[in-house]
Amino acid sequence: MEKKGGLCMKLISISQTPDRISIHWEHDGSVQVFKDGKELYSGSGKSFTDNGLEPGTIYSYTLKGTGTIKIQTATAVEREEKNADIPLQELIVTTVIEEGLISLVWEPIRGIEEYEIFRNDEYAGTVTEPAFQDRHIDMDEQYVYGIKGIRPLEVGDEEETEQPSLLARAIDLLKVTKDEDDILVETFLMGKDIGRPSDQLNGRMPIKPLNYRLRYTTFLEDEWVENPNVLSKMRYFTGDGRTFDPEADRYRTRAEISVSSGEVSLKRDVGASEGYTVNKELVERETASDEGIVIKQVQTDEEKVSFLLEHSVGNPLMPSPDIVYELYAGFYPNGFIDISGEHDEAPHHEIYLKHENGDWKPLHRSETRGLERLAPPAANRFWRYSNMT
């Protein structure tokens, strides 16, 4: 296909190290390369390398020639610097937008044999390689893509070896089904909020002031939860009797983080636990401490505002495993948002984001798979949400 001024520009490759990103293309004429609206290169060459970058940081580039290509990718992170608890946090995901085409490429996740792809919550296909291209798009429609993979529970360093762990091999030998409902199968979910492709190519993505609220709530869907200890006087505990709702006032725990350009603050709350007899008569009511909900590693500078949220809260009425999760969030000056986490498969988890006085936007919602999932060696769920600017 020819256009005036030469052949259509074609992206050949993108490579990353901890401190640089290199882009290679084919084109017959001059090409301009922009980063966050600033021109970095103009000429007839066929490659560009951006040096002196921060490790594990997201960058967006626009190539303009006989067409326009928008690229979002990230620098690499050395293995010893990675967060082992949240394996998706530093996973490099590259998004490329061209006229009539959206491409997603991500680093492979050890042990995952195939990935299910969803577009605007509808199934779009299954791939065996960590890449997906969508040519069936309307440039003026908004798109959110989901990537889902499962694997037998892995133990140890994510990058230590290409070989499955001993536990994973044991699962295979025991013929445990590799299904996400299985207690020893880990689930990975990644969401990519593209927005409108036409806005991305035309540079019409608005940059919102850094003023967000992030709300993370855990809750029990049932009204009553039976005590597994049949010898206890407390045969039942009260649940929260609800489904997903960002404004609900019944929950086990809630952490709300306010984020601005120079400040990160945490508001935390724990719902009361109530134990009842077999006849549903109240025996005891107590509220667990909120000291297990903390924010750490707060960064507020020109590069980004980021933090790590840690949560460990249990049932104060009986010895039982805590509800445990971690969440990492990064907010960038150019409007990019990157939030990832891991949690037990119980109880229900819901995470929402609100900008100023806008509506709550769901980032991740997970239904319980049984309270036994709170105890090891039950597998966890890993998730990530990011947008594109």
344 and 219 share a domain? yes
Bridge-based pairing of strands 68-74 and 101-106 is unpaired
248 vs 175, residue with greater confidence: 248
pLDDT at 175: 44
- Whether 37 maps to a domain, the answer reads yes
The confidence band for 228, taking pLDDT boundaries of 50, 70 and 90, is confident
> pTM of the entire structure?
0.89
In-domain check, residue 388: no
Q: Taking residues 335-357, what's their average pLDDT?
A: 95
In a domain, 237, yes or no: no
Least confident stretch, 173-182, 258-267, 298-307: 173-182
pLDDT range class, residue 26, cuts 50, 70, 90: very high
In a domain, 229, yes or no: no
Work out how many domains the chain is built from and give that number.
3
Q: Residue range 244-258: average pLDDT?
A: 98
Residue 186 is part of a domain; what is its CATH number?
2.60.40.10
pLDDT at 172: 55
Task: Give the dihedral sign, CA 195/192/388/60.
Answer: negative
pLDDT at 3 over 50: no
CB 355 within 8 Å of CB 337 = no
| pLDDT exceeds 90 at position 150 | yes
Domain span including residue 47: 1-81
* 71 and 20 both lie in a single domain: yes
Say whether both 192 and 158 belong to one domain. Answer: yes
- Note whether residue 236 is domain-resident: no
Q: Where are the alpha helices (DSSP H) in the chain?
A: 166-173, 197-202
- 59-90 pLDDT tens trace: 999 999 989 999 999 999 887 667 777 889 98
* pLDDT beyond 70 at 276: yes
The helix/strand/coil state of 59 is: strand
Q: Which residues contact 362 (CB under 8 A, 6 or more apart)?
A: 244, 246, 350, 351, 352
Percent of all residues in the chain with a pLDDT value above 70, rounded to a whole number: 91
Q: Is the pLDDT of residue 342 over 70?
A: yes
- Is residue 128 located within the same domain as residue 109? yes
Question: Is 104 a member of any domain?
Answer: yes
Mind listing the pLDDT tens digit for each residue in 173-223?
544 556 777 888 999 999 999 999 999 999 877 778 889 999 999 999 999
132 pLDDT more than 60: yes
- Residue 231: what pLDDT? 86
Residues 91-120 have a mean pLDDT of 96
- Over residues 366-374, the mean pLDDT reads 91
Under the phi-then-psi rule, with left for phi > 0, alpha for psi from -120 to 50, and beta for the rest, what region is 121? Answer: left
